[in-house]
Amino acid sequence: TAKELRQVHLGGNFFQQGALVLSHHLQSGGFFVSEHPARPRDETRPSIWTSAILEVLLQHPEVTLTHVSQYQWGATVTKPTGLLHYQMPGFRKHLYRHADSTALKPKDIAIGRDSSGQFRTSRHKEYPARFCKGLASTIVQALASARRQHEVCDRDAFHPSLLKWIQGAATASSKVYRN
């Protein structure tokens, strides 16, 4: 349908944008994290993780693909997730500090439609709060480590217009809309 074609186009653009941003980080430095559903078990199914460009980028020694199941951070379904990250050697360790080690793997699935005809995936688009906290903490840990090693500049060194933009972006992205 036209709607599905738009979704494919948008998804393809988003994927290409992510690969381009990671490529810029490889050239200029910085940190990078990108999330997408985990690589399918069925190798005949398409996935961004098996694309030629990401296979090349993943050969870089500081680019890593970590697979997790979001139920360990509060999701009500397993929700296998791939997290591509760059220059964050403690990523997995820091993320798992926020996981619930006692979480039981749920039996519910997020495929297809429920009894009311709604897509089961819809209610699982938002990250669980614990997962958000884990990702944020992981990024803060990487920044703090780089700062200790004098690999990043202090915020006072930013141009005032850039600081204003960063503050605006933080405000805009802090709004979470449920459902």
Confidence at residue 108, expressed as pLDDT on a 0 to 100 scale: 82
Q: Are strands 63-69 and 32-37 parallel, antiparallel or unpaired?
A: unpaired
pLDDT at 146: 82
pLDDT of residue 164: 80
Q: What phi and psi values does residue 65 have, to the nearest 5 degrees?
A: -110, 120
Question: pTM of the prediction?
Answer: 0.81
d(CA 14, CA 48): 11
- Give residue 148's pLDDT: 81
Q: What pLDDT is stored for residue 18 in this prediction?
A: 93
* Measured CA distances, 100 to 67, 72, 91, 93, 130 (Å): 16, 5, 17, 13, 9
Q: What pLDDT does residue 157 have?
A: 61
**In order along the chain (179 residues), what is the average pLDDT of each group of 10 residues?**
91 92 90 92 90 94 96 93 94 96 89 78 82 92 83 65 76 64
At residue 105, the pLDDT reads 94
Give the pLDDT of residue 33.
96
Q: Print burial letters for 151-168: b (CB count within 10 Å at least 16), e (below 16).
A: ebeeeeeeeeeeeeeeee
Distance of CA 173 to the CA centre of its chain: 15
